[in-house]
Amino acid sequence: MLDPVVAVDRLRAAFRGPEKHRTLHAKGRFYAGTFTATPEAAALGRALHLTGESVPVLVRWSNAGGNADVPDTLPDIRGMAVKFRLPDGTATDLLGQTARRFPTDDPEMFVRMTEASRRMATFPLFMLRHPSMAPALLDGLRNGAVPKPASFVEPSYYPIHAYGWRDADDRLSWVRYVLVAQPGEPPAGSFAGPDRVFDEMAARLARAGALRGTTPGRR
């Protein structure tokens, strides 16, 4: 079993990111909002975020890499983490990414793949030696898992695990989440700087808040 401290050290070395930043998904920002489940969801699950009552959420959109100084113009897997703040004081976390499948369930192989991906000249050789990872990576290429989006609302996000929902009668349904943005009018202007996707989101939320006469929360 790969020691977690060793894994973190190797991933940090691969990305050469600034000190005291996250090991992966280093570049990201937090956004406050609310979530209201549909009646269909409430019928399938009795979890407190599925009752149909509005619950506060904390969302973090991010770039997957371990260096927060990398510009948004570079292709990367994007992440969307959602924390549902429940009425009883607990929280439910849902983690999504633009890749529909994870390439491996072996921590050592994941670290090796990440290390190899930082040297694109030799990455094809790594994949030839580890063909079991190829289907997930090919699926990601076909479905735009490594986008250069103009906005975080463009791609879909896939929590890669299956979740068991139990309804009021204790019947179990297995579900897979897909987080998809509702269509909306983009903010005016263009965003071309190193933080362009985050700048676009700030402008989008500011515009939405102005239309509602409120100030959108962001941390």
Architecture (CATH level 2) of domain 4-100+143-212: Beta Barrel (2.40)
Q: What is the mean pLDDT of residues 106-125?
A: 92
How crowded is residue 152: how many other Cβ atoms within 10 Å of its Cβ?
25
- Degrees, nearest 5: CA angle 195-198-199: 80
pLDDT in tens, 22-73: 999 999 999 999 999 999 999 999 999 999 999 999 999 999 999 999 899 8
Which residues make Cβ contacts (< 8 Å) with residue 165, sequence separation at least 6?
44, 45, 47, 50, 172, 173, 174, 175
pLDDT in tens, 128-172: 999 999 999 999 989 889 988 889 999 999 998 899 999 999 999
- pLDDT of amino acid 219: 36
Strands (E) in the chain, as ranges, are 27-35, 55-63, 78-85, 91-97, 163-166, 172-175
Q: Which residue numbers are catalytic?
A: 25
Strand 55-63 with 27-35, pairing: antiparallel
**Among 73, 64, 78, residue whose Cα is nearest residue 143:** 78
Return the domain boundaries, the chain.
4-100+143-212
What is the torsional sign of CA 127, 12, 62, 81?
A: positive
